[in-house]
């Protein structure tokens, strides 16, 4: 398949706002791809060359890509930089440079999707001296064989920001329409993806084996499943009443202020994954040791929460301090010594080669407790208590708060594990006013001492309100900014709470996500989640959400959350009503 054909699909997708049309375009593209091309096409339309749970990194930065563009076209880097700043899209700058190239390649070949896919994935394997130069040469070769339009999307793909309005939901719907009976089988595709996190595999299975094949896809060692998510209870008593018909069917567990992790073990091999499905094993050698020595199972998958603690006081450290460990790549042992990790285990998803996802929570906990030999300060069973009466539940809740935890989790002991879902079988109860996890959608440079930093940040929630659909199937863009098929509604501007070091780190990350500008304000790809505290929520016509946070303040970057985990407009409205 020629890359030009896929680029034509990209242009069509980017040029329409209609979700139904995007779905239909994807379905036709998937159906027209042959058996070998289908996994590649499904991968490329998502804009990421590897699934989140694989640790491979292309090692491609904006500056490296800019050098490759210059090498391929003969255009000076300064001119490319100027065009980039003007448009906010290095892909557009690559297209412009390709149109105005000053050096012509004597021999060019038509790019294929296989060539683009293979060449870009190979970048992750380049190591040692000269690896950056090899990456530049490889990207420059692809760009030299590209048309200007192909150069735009190739550059975006290399950087991981394709910007064609396609997210997981649209890929799911496209697969269902291409190979099954459409809307009726979307649930089966969704379930298969939640347990595999691999749409190329799901698409191939749907095409070759249909519904029967999808139902056979399940949990697999070292391929994490989406974690089951909790809803927010109005209060402890309300949560107990909502989660089960009988209080005795409710389990209380302490809610820890840490990092949700999924532990996979096969013999001596242990891998640690975050809620975002990232493999962080290398950053947590203390967790790996604790699992090897204290989990008596040849194979298993365990759900838990990791917190950091102070060796001297034996008390939990703040999430912000502990989160330093998530992406640490150097001086790991020193950080382990200063901020050791303690894992609280609360669920078993698989044991001895058997999936437990469809078993009751009570059965899964029994399995966990059979294989877990707790080691205080390293790996323990989450503090828990079965509800017997309201007074004891209240005492457990208050005890959790006094111990420095966030609150409690309430779980239905009869419920099966449903990856990636908020299904009402698990709730959290903690004091309000609750903080909000929000995305940065726009940014502006500060003035004065901090003028080099993007210190004025526009905050947005996910807009989960239904969009009106026109007669032609297109969606009315009534509010919010968009990324993939998701809409976002802004709720305020942030300018306080971060240190200079935190702001410098944020600026470095944001500058790689800039996507155009209007005056002094830059659009930003909604990729970074911040936890925000505030004094109150008030009605406002200034923001498209209809609400504004009063005196918002930065608390921390939620490295453990993906954009899809950020709070919704419905949640903002709910908190407003609770004031």
Residue 435 is given by DSSP the state P
The whole-angstrom separation of Cα 253 and Cα 260 is 14
- Catalytic hit among 22, 66, 71, 255: 255
Residue of 256, 221, 421 whose CA lies nearest to 345:
256
Whose tokens are 């975050």? That residue is 274
Task: Write out the two tokens for 569.
Answer: 């407009």
3-state SS, residue 379: strand
Q: How many CB atoms lie within 10 A of CB 577?
A: 8
* Alpha-carbon separation of residue 534 from 214, 253, 408, 459, 571 (angstroms): 45, 27, 22, 12, 15
Q: How many CB atoms lie within 10 A of CB 575?
A: 20
User: Are the beta carbons of 327 and 559 closer than 8 angstroms?
Assistant: yes
User: Are the beta carbons of 386 and 408 closer than 8 angstroms?
Assistant: no
Residue of 460, 492, 495, 493 whose CA lies nearest to 479:
460
Q: Which residues, in sequence order, are CB contacts of 314 under 8 Å at separation 6+?
A: 377
Q: Which helix (H) or strand (E) holds 169?
A: helix 168-179
DSSP letter string over 76-144? -HHHHHHHHHHHS-HHHHHHHHHHT-SS--SS----BHHHHHHHHHHGGG--STTHHHHHHHHHHHHHH
The whole-angstrom separation of Cα 528 and Cα 135 is 26
Whose tokens are 């073990």? That residue is 265
Is position 255 annotated as part of the catalytic site?
yes
3-state SS, residue 164: coil
User: Are the beta carbons of 388 and 247 closer than 8 angstroms?
Assistant: yes
Q: What is the distance of C-alpha 33 from the center of its chain?
A: 28
Could you give the residue numbers annotated as active site? 255
């Amino acid at each position: 398949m020629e890359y030009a054909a896929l680029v034509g699909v990209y242009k069509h997708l980017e040029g329409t706002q209609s979700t139904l049309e995007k779905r239909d375009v994807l379905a036709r593209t998937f159906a027209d791809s042959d058996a070998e091309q289908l996994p590649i096409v499904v991968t490329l339309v998502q804009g990421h060359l590897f699934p989140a749970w694989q640790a491979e990194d292309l090692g491609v930065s904006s500056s490296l890509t800019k050098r490759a563009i210059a090498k391929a076209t003969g255009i000076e880097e300064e001119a490319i930089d100027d065009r980039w700043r003007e448009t906010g899209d290095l892909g557009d700058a690559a297209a412009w440079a390709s149109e105005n190239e000053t050096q012509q390649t004597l021999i060019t070949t038509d790019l294929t999707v296989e060539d683009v896919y293979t060449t870009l994935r190979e970048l992750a394997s380049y190591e040692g001296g000269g690896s950056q130069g090899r990456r530049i040469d490889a990207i420059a070769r692809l760009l030299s064989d590209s048309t200007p339009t192909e150069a735009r999307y190739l550059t975006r793909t290399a950087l991981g920001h394709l910007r064609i309005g396609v997210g997981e939901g649209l890929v799911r719907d496209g697969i269902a329409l291409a190979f099954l009976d459409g809307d009726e089988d979307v649930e089966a595709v969704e379930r298969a993806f939640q347990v595999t996190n691999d749409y190329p595999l799901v698409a191939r299975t749907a095409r070759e084996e249909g519904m029967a094949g999808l139902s056979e896809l399940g949990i697999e060692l070292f391929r994490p499943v989406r974690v089951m998510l909790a809803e927010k209870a109005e209060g402890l008593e309300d949560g107990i009443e909502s989660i089960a018909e009988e209080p005795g069917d409710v389990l209380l567990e302490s809610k820890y202020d840490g990092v949700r992790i999924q532990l996979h073990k096969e013999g001596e091999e242990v891998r640690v994954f975050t809620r975002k499905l990232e493999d962080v094993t290398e950053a947590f050698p203390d967790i790996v040791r604790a699992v090897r020595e204290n989990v008596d199972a040849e194979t298993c998958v365990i759900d838990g929460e990791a917190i950091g603690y102070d060796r001297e006081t034996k008390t939990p450290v703040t999430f912000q301090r502990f989160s330093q460990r998530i992406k640490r790549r150097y001086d790991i042992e020193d950080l382990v010594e200063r901020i050791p990790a303690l894992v609280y285990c609360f669920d078993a998803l698989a044991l001895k080669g058997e999936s437990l996802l469809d078993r009751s929570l009570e059965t899964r906990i029994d399995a966990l407790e059979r294989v877990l030999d707790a080691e205080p300060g390293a790996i323990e069973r989450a503090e828990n208590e079965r509800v017997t009466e309201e007074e004891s539940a209240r005492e457990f809740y208050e005890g959790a708060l006094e111990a420095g935890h966030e609150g409690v989790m309430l779980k239905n002991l009869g419920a099966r594990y449903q990856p990636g879902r908020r299904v009402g079988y698990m709730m959290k109860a903690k004091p309000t006013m609750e903080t909000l996890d929000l995305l940065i959608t726009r940014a502006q440079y500060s003035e004065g001492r901090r003028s080099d930093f993007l210190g004025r940040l526009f905050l947005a929630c996910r807009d989960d309100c239904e969009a009106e659909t026109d007669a032609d199937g297109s969606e009315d863009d009534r509010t919010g900014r968009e990324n993939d098929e998701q809409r976002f509604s802004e709720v305020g501007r942030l300018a306080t709470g971060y240190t200079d070091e935190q702001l410098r780190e944020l600026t470095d990350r944001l500058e790689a996500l800039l996507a155009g500008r209007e005056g002094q304000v830059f659009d930003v790809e909604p990729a970074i989640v911040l936890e925000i505290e505030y004094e109150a929520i008030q009605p406002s016509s200034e923001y498209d959400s209809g609400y504004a946070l009063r005196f918002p303040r930065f608390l921390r970057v939620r490295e453990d959350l993906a954009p899809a985990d950020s709070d919704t407009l419905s949640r903002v409205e709910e908190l407003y009503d609770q004031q």
